[in-house]
Chains A and B, each alone.
Chain A
Amino acid sequence: MISIENLVDILPLIIISAGILLSVIIEIYSSKSENILPWFSFSLFTLSAIYALYSINSVSVEFQNMINAGGIVNLFYFIFCSGSAIVTLLSISYLKKYGAYFGEYFILLQTSVLGMMLMAAARDLFVVFLGLEIMSVSFYVLAGLNRKRLSANEASLKYFLLGAFATGFFVYGIALIYGAVHSTSIQMISAKFADLSGNILFLGGILLFLIGFSFKIAAFPFHMWVPDVYQGAPTTISALFSTGGKAAAFSAIMVVLAVMFTGSGQNQFTPYLAVISTLSMLYGSIVAIAQIDIKRMLAYSSIAHAGYMIVGLSAGNALGVAGIIFYLAAYTFINLGAFGVVSIIEGENESNLTIDSYSGLNKKSPMFAALLAIFMFSLAGIPPFAGFFGKYYVFISAVKADLTWLAIIGVISSAISAYFYLRIVVLMYFKETSSDFKIEKSNSAQLAIIISVLFVVLLGVAPGTLIDLITSFLK
């Protein structure tokens, strides 16, 4: 029977679900829904995030072994909800510029977060699939919200087709795993993992699962959709794709295959993971140098960062998993901040999105230039910002697992990527303005970016607290 205790344990999920239903009602009946819904969503996400942290210590298993609650799951809830809260703040002024200021945007935002949260909380493969689909379909629609724009339509359709393909891989993998394990429960999979490690059906299923997952996190060679989708979608949604979408996919893989990553080191999937990690890191860093549009540049940088995170997966030890979670937390705030500044600089009709528009930004707005500089340095992995510690943990785990060559490739790719991150800083501070455009003031967006930068600095100066928290739950 479902008791109150069960419901309290999954309160974040309930808050968001109830919020979705309420939002739909508000959207139908209120004519001023566009004014109410942003703030409603924001309070929903903040409430959820705070409660997730508050109840982080109450670890439990719910609903006939289908849902996890507490511990790492709540940490992921916090990442998703605070990320979406920041996106909501950014969207309020951005959507008016972009031309898609509908109440449905916020409803879809909430459904996508619900999907992400289900993926993180899953204890059964079907729940993973459920969460994945809810999140993905919301993303497909959000990408193409402005039907009058060709690039948005292209982005949405591309994402839909390729994403459906990826989901197909996922489901086929689930089917094969079921065939081997005779259950979709993750507990059973973990228990039988060692026995089945020679079983073709099982290995095939896991491999297909990993392939579907690689689509979602934008790893090479399944990254083809990323630049076009990130460029065509509204900037705030691209921000959500690159952070929330990635984090959700990683949480799914780490939950499902947790048994693979708490071992002592390499396993049979390490070659696959190490190879796609290398290719993602190098490909993302190198191709980003050639980009002229800043959203595409950030898209390729997203591919590279997925590569760094997969290094942690290849290592296959607990430190790697902890490193990835830290990296995701840091990366969420850094990328949200970077995309946030891009969304503020962006003008009507998707103007001011080229890298040249950033020339002389220091003169126009010293604050945004400084903030974007901090985010660029963080992405490049320069201490003392959060991005550096994420990379450091992941590289330590690689060296520990005898994958030093992977760490060396990681640092080479970091050095290469420093070039294009620095290029933005150079343009902002050292070059003159090429085009005169006014930056619209928006208090909510500024607040969002300042919250992001505070987290980035906090995680950079005191990374120990978060890492200790993560490792305490991984035991």
Chain B
Amino acid sequence: MENSFLVSYLIFLPLLGSLVLLFINKSKEDLIKYFGLFVSTLVFVISLIIYFNFDSDSGEFQFIHKINWIKNINVSYFVGVDGLSLLLVLLTTFLTPLTLISSWSAITKQIKEFTFFMLVLEVGMIGVFVSLDLFLFYVFWEAMLIPMYFIIGIWGGEQRIYASVKFFLYTMFGSLLMLIAIIWLAVNSVSVLGHFSSDLVELYSVAPSFEQSLQMWMFFAFAFSFAIKVPLFPLHTWLPDAHVQAPTAGSVILAGVLLKMGTYGLLRFCLPLFPDASMKFAPYIAVLAVIGIIYGALVAMVQRDMKKLVAYSSVAHLGFVVLGIFAATQEAVQGAIIQMINHGLSTGALFLLVGVIYERTHTREISYYGGIAKIVPLFSFALMFASLSSVGLPGLNGFVGEFLILLGSFKSPVLNSWWFTVFASSGVIFAAIYLLWMYQRIVFGEVTNPKLNEIPDMNKREMLVLVPIFIFIIWIGIQPNTFLKVSDKSTKKIIHQVYHPIDGENKTVTDVK
């Protein structure tokens, strides 16, 4: 198969950009900002080219690029996209330039290093989503920790050191277990394949044939690491600290993209590689997911810090996604995928808006605010829009995802119980409660603090950042099929792999459920 370079351009262009950035004199701040924006927009354009040339009728990996890297242990540089990864790559390349623009006023010191780390982070994120070799995936997964750690630790809030070290150690511990599982998988595949392999496509045909106890350990090792990232209750305790202490741009990327890496991993690795173990564990993980939905929402309700509220709402929303993944029906998984995109957009918008208001008043205490509707009408409208999207109002993006997930879990043969759906639906109501209550306390009512009268409304740059996000929020809400059809066949393939693990050779999906 001939190699396509487009995906490699996606990975190496930001890397090249970051290296060139090192040579720009750090006093030329404007040049640095525009250069960073230029590189990330260029990457977005390339991802659009991939999108327009993507064949939605095939569930296979496209735009493959495979070169031998370390022959001795059969590790290759193997990248490619399918519907699932394409959507997530688009989300990444879409959010990165927007966060760079949004941080032009928020980040005032060491701008060169900040842009450098953001570009390196983009390399890592894209690399995770397009890697088709387990070892390469692991390299990108770990390598992405370093820039995030610096971003939180240098430009973050008061408790940033605690938050960044916690984030780093927690995530790294999880991923080290995954490393052992990858090695184990590669070594055990020798008996079937005849050679050591960490190639995902090959492993798809090998791993499901392992006996169940072996599968369960490996599933656990992989899922543990992904569960920390998602975050799945009860491994979520790093999230509030990391989100609150990170700078706005860091929070947007953390919530918008990094958390999706966990759910992506569950869908790409856990389900197809260990289908028996997945089906066995699915009800338990779904229970944790539903607990996360309700617990996240309840804790969000009592928060006094806006950012922490939105952080806990992430736990709640991603509980829905995990529920959809382990329901393992076409609707549920499609819903999970689109909800990943939705969460990136709506929570990203919420964090951006919190950042906007924080820049003006330097406090995130909800009690400080009140009645700012008349003072900053544009902001209030934007916050309403983003909140409703997060709540899941029909017509906006959140509803599509949640509905599909609930529908899929209702009829899921794996979960085999209506109770999951019943309890998860209550999460929708809770979301409305905490978001609308926060909104009411901040925006409506009397102006509680005379100092609020002086804050300026959103300027053009801040609106420029939010408008594209809002356009997609409406687009996905009204015409979700544009995005659903991209991942449709890939989802069918993944579900097929769960129910019919090995159909002879490495055949593609031609008969679907």
**Residues of A in contact with B (beta carbons under 8 Å apart):** 322, 377, 382-384, 388, 392-393, 395-396, 399-400, 404, 407-408, 411-412, 414-415, 418-419, 422, 426, 429-431, 463-464, 467-468, 471
Contact = CB atoms under 8 A, between A and B. Distances in A.
Nearest to B198: A396
A430 B160 contact: yes
Given A322-B72, A407-B180, A411-B179, 7 more contacts: A383-B143, A395-B179, A399-B183, A426-B153, A430-B153, A467-B72, A471-B72
Interface of B: 68-73, 135, 138-139, 142-143, 145-146, 149-150, 153-154, 160-161, 164-165, 168-169, 172-173, 176-177, 179-180, 183-184, 186-187
A422 B180 contact: no
Contacts of A414: 176
A419 B184 CA distance: 26
Contact of B70 (A383, A407, A408, A464): A464
29 contacts: A382-B142, A382-B143, A382-B146, A383-B138, A384-B139, A388-B139, A392-B183, A393-B73, A395-B183, A396-B186, A399-B187, A404-B184, A407-B180, A408-B180, A411-B180, A412-B176, A415-B169, A418-B169, A422-B165, A426-B153, A426-B164, A429-B153, A430-B153, A430-B160, A430-B161, A430-B164, A463-B70, A467-B73, A468-B72
Contacts of A463: 70
A400 B187 contact: yes
A382 B145 contact: yes
B173 A415 contact: yes
Nearest to A395: B183
The 10 A-B pairs with the shortest beta carbon distances in the complex, nearest first, are A411-B176, A464-B70, A383-B139, A415-B173, A467-B72, A430-B153, A399-B187, A399-B183, A383-B142, A383-B143
Contacts of B168: 418, 422
A392 B161 CA distance: 29
A395 B153 CA distance: 31
A404 B72 CA distance: 20
B179 A468 contact: no
Contacts, number: 81
Contact of A468 (B71, B145, B172, B177): B71
Contacts of B177: 408, 411
A468 B68 CA distance: 13
Contacts of B183: 392, 395-396, 399, 407
B139 A464 contact: no
Main secondary structure of the interface of B (DSSP, over half): helix
A81 B128 CA distance: 39
A411 B161 CA distance: 24
Contacts of B145: 382
A8 B142 CA distance: 46
Contacts of B179: 392, 395, 411
Nearest to B188: A399
B173 A464 contact: no
Contacts of A418: 168-169, 172
A419 B176 contact: no
Contacts of A322: 72
B176 A384 contact: no
Nearest to A389: B70
A429 B150 contact: yes
B135 to A, nearest CB: 8
A415 B176 contact: yes
A242 to B, nearest CB: 24
Nearest to B190: A400
Nearest to B186: A396
B69 A464 contact: yes
Select the residue from A383, A388, A392, A415 with max chain B CB neighbours within 10 A: A383
A36 to B, nearest CB: 38
A399 B184 contact: yes
A305 B306 CA distance: 45
Contacts of A388: 139, 142
A372 to B, nearest CB: 14
Contacts of B160: 430
A426 B165 contact: yes
B221 to A, nearest CB: 9
B143 A384 contact: yes
A464 B180 contact: no
A418 B154 CA distance: 19
A392 B154 CA distance: 30
A413 to B, nearest CB: 10
Contacts of B165: 419, 422, 426
A408 B218 CA distance: 13
A396 B182 CA distance: 10
B116 to A, nearest CB: 11
A418 B167 CA distance: 12
